[in-house]
Chains A and B, each alone.
Chain A
């Protein structure tokens, strides 16, 4: 797809872009700006005091506790990206190549799993992960010692829930990339003397990179804001950023602090995405060099 150079003097262009631009400004930029402004205010007796003060920022930067939680959030998000992609790729590959006959049925099942409310599914995991839950019951009956797993209310429990709730995203994006690959390219690789495995690494994998990257970005962004899973399955033992922010706003009624922590989380996420984008764009994945 070619992006043409458009002029802001072109009335048709402005007219077509204006609605989107307005929506973006009204629902994204303005709230972001308001959040930024909020960080320079202070609170007294649970009331917002309008000033221009760096008090909140000094607090944020002087308390390592916040940064531990931020780092833990980023680490959890990265692990979640790796795990979801590792699970989603083989599943999407099987769907795109091997299970073509059951394609529709499997897609419908995935969409149903996707549409079922995340709260419901997350609570469902309690039944499985609980000390007296399904997982331990099964393991015991398979001959393992009783109460072998102790996953509920641990970071591992949180991770299981996050992976489970997010894995459908990369599965879809990778699937869409895989089905777009021309089968002749694989035949051409076989013809040139490549084995199936070699063909996978030389042709299939590189050409599915767009789906891999977009899936990874989706999972990363969504797991930075993971809220439900740490609360329900992590039990608040090792809170993530979203919980910290919620506490600042609700429990401590310190809006400027919540806003500042929000800004920190957004900045970390944006910086990491920018770094990844720079890394990815070193070498084109679609056959066109970056301009």
Chain B
């Protein structure tokens, strides 16, 4: 990255005796869209508040636009925040809300009005909303007003703390699309906090996955999806399968073997192995769409497991099967295309198979 707009290194944050962040390092490029994802309580909001200047870090360094941020109040930082609960001023009209940062910068009335109008257009809000109060707007409209208020003073970085968590699924989708478009048009750096990895994959250039105050992995959506650092990241993406294996170094890649499968050792190429592989709890990540029902003979090198169908769910474009395999704690999930012809009934004994060389080797 040429010149990161945000350079955080080793950020530590203690609340009393509890440590919320354990040395978080993250660089964000100018104009980049970065998503912070992780389960509840992992420190996403805390990190965002440190970037915004609402909390002082206990340790570590933070630079924004090359300037050290120690002791710099929120008001003097080039960051603007969209709050989780929006925090629109209930006693101010939409125009007063959006214009508030301009009023503080003593921008002239005519120019301020022009910029408020421009924001309204950008956010597809009707001009007659200007005199309304936030309580008189729908959730989606309030969302846009909050975005407009944050963007009106042309910040270097826009910080978004789960701004869409309170919206229904359909509205969420349309706002996500708008957010992506907005980012492309404005060229402002966006930092989006979300606990929804799917949302992060759709929107972000890079994703930072966090877990209990640590950064687990930073990478492009493709990195996160195809090369997850560990089972935590892989499991966060969505329902998937982990097959416990024992692994040993074999030339360029790794040789793996599973006690459940008769075929024996199979070699996995190095690009299918997690760079942060450790010895503890190694497993193969087998995606539901790569598993098939085996009728007749198995393909050469294919790993085959015996089980019985526990349940299936018709999803329209595909059908999900859950197959109980003896010796595995969790049911194996299959995603088969189509839903007209069902290949197996509930309770039926089945054989399922997949190509282990196409699976991904990782650890806990």
Chain A residues close to B by CB (< 8 Å): 182, 184-185, 187-195, 198, 202-203, 206-207, 284-289
- How many positions in chain B have a CB within 8 Å of any CB in the partner chain? 28
Known: A284-B133, A286-B90, A287-B135. A192 touches B149 (CB 8 A): yes
**Complex contact B74–A287 (CB within 8 A):** no
**Complex contact A289–B75 (CB within 8 A):** no
Whose C-beta in chain B lies nearest to the C-beta of A190?
Answer: B74
Q: What A residues does B79 contact at CB under 8 A? A: 191
**Complex contact A182–B100 (CB within 8 A):** no
Cβ distance A200 to chain B, nearest Cβ, rounded Å = 13
Q: Can you pick out 9 interface pairs between chain A and chain B where the beta carbons lie within 8 Å of each other?
A: A187-B74, A191-B53, A191-B54, A193-B76, A194-B100, A194-B104, A202-B100, A284-B91, A289-B136
Q: What A residues does B84 contact at CB under 8 A? A: 184
Cβ distance B96 to chain A, nearest Cβ, rounded Å = 10
Cβ distance A126 to chain B, nearest Cβ, rounded Å = 45
Check B268 for interface membership: any CB of A closer than 8 A.
no
**Complex contact A188–B75 (CB within 8 A):** no
Known: A191-B80, A192-B101, A194-B75. A207 touches B91 (CB 8 A): yes
Check B85 for interface membership: any CB of A closer than 8 A.
yes
Whose C-beta in chain A lies nearest to the C-beta of B80?
Answer: A191
Whose C-beta in chain B lies nearest to the C-beta of A185?
Answer: B87
Q: What A residues does B83 contact at CB under 8 A? A: 184, 187-188
**Complex contact B85–A191 (CB within 8 A):** no
Q: What B residues does A207 contact at CB under 8 A? A: 90-91
A151 CA / B69 CA spacing, docked (Å) = 56
Cβ distance A128 to chain B, nearest Cβ, rounded Å = 41
Cβ distance B345 to chain A, nearest Cβ, rounded Å = 53
Q: Which of B45-89 contact A (CB under 8 A)?
A: 52-54, 73-76, 79-81, 83-85, 87-89
**Complex contact B73–A190 (CB within 8 A):** yes
Check B282 for interface membership: any CB of A closer than 8 A.
no
Whose C-beta in chain B lies nearest to the C-beta of A288?
Answer: B135
**Complex contact A184–B87 (CB within 8 A):** yes
Q: What A residues does B136 contact at CB under 8 A? A: 288-289
A284 CA / B88 CA spacing, docked (Å) = 16
A150 CA / B284 CA spacing, docked (Å) = 91
**Complex contact B134–A192 (CB within 8 A):** no
A203 CA / B92 CA spacing, docked (Å) = 9
Check B320 for interface membership: any CB of A closer than 8 A.
no
Give the 3 A-B CB pairs with smallest separation, nearest first: A287-B90, A184-B87, A188-B87
Q: What B residues does A286 contact at CB under 8 A? A: 90-91
**Complex contact A190–B89 (CB within 8 A):** no
**Complex contact A190–B85 (CB within 8 A):** no
Cβ distance B332 to chain A, nearest Cβ, rounded Å = 45
Q: Contact string, B92-117, partner A, CB cutoff 8 A, digits 1/0?
A: 00000000110011000000000000
In addition to A187-B81, A194-B100, A287-B134, 17 A-B residue pairs with Cβ atoms within 8 Å of each other are A182-B87, A187-B87, A188-B149, A189-B100, A190-B74, A191-B53, A191-B75, A191-B80, A192-B75, A193-B76, A198-B104, A202-B100, A284-B133, A286-B91, A287-B90, A288-B135, A289-B133
Check B363 for interface membership: any CB of A closer than 8 A.
no
Cβ distance A192 to chain B, nearest Cβ, rounded Å = 4
A17 CA / B53 CA spacing, docked (Å) = 52
**Complex contact A193–B81 (CB within 8 A):** no
A200 CA / B135 CA spacing, docked (Å) = 22
Whose C-beta in chain B lies nearest to the C-beta of A209?
Answer: B91
Known: A182-B87, A185-B89, A203-B89. A191 touches B133 (CB 8 A): no
Q: What B residues does A206 contact at CB under 8 A? A: 91
Q: What B residues does A188 contact at CB under 8 A? A: 81, 83, 87-89, 149
**Complex contact B133–A193 (CB within 8 A):** no
**Complex contact B135–A191 (CB within 8 A):** no
Q: What B residues does A185 contact at CB under 8 A? A: 87, 89
Whose C-beta in chain B lies nearest to the C-beta of A187?
Answer: B54
Q: Contact string, B151-190, partner A, CB cutoff 8 A, digits 1/0?
A: 0010000000000000000000000000000000000000
**Complex contact A190–B75 (CB within 8 A):** yes
A191 CA / B76 CA spacing, docked (Å) = 8
Whose C-beta in chain B lies nearest to the C-beta of A199?
Answer: B75
Cβ distance A125 to chain B, nearest Cβ, rounded Å = 39
Cβ distance A82 to chain B, nearest Cβ, rounded Å = 23
**Complex contact B104–A288 (CB within 8 A):** no
A284 CA / B73 CA spacing, docked (Å) = 32
Q: What A residues does B80 contact at CB under 8 A? A: 191-192
A187 CA / B74 CA spacing, docked (Å) = 8
Cβ distance A100 to chain B, nearest Cβ, rounded Å = 14
A184 CA / B89 CA spacing, docked (Å) = 10
Cβ distance A23 to chain B, nearest Cβ, rounded Å = 34
Cβ distance B90 to chain A, nearest Cβ, rounded Å = 3
Whose C-beta in chain A lies nearest to the C-beta of B101?
Answer: A192
A161 CA / B125 CA spacing, docked (Å) = 56
Cβ distance B47 to chain A, nearest Cβ, rounded Å = 15
Selected contact of A191 from candidates B52, B90, B134, CB within 8 Å: B52
**Complex contact A287–B104 (CB within 8 A):** no
Q: What B residues does A194 contact at CB under 8 A? A: 75, 100, 104
**Complex contact B133–A287 (CB within 8 A):** yes
Q: What A residues does B89 contact at CB under 8 A? A: 185, 188-189, 202-203
**Complex contact A192–B100 (CB within 8 A):** yes
Q: What A residues does B87 contact at CB under 8 A? A: 182, 184-185, 187-188
A182 CA / B74 CA spacing, docked (Å) = 18
Whose C-beta in chain A lies nearest to the C-beta of B146?
Answer: A188
Whose C-beta in chain A lies nearest to the C-beta of B105?
Answer: A193
A206 CA / B133 CA spacing, docked (Å) = 14
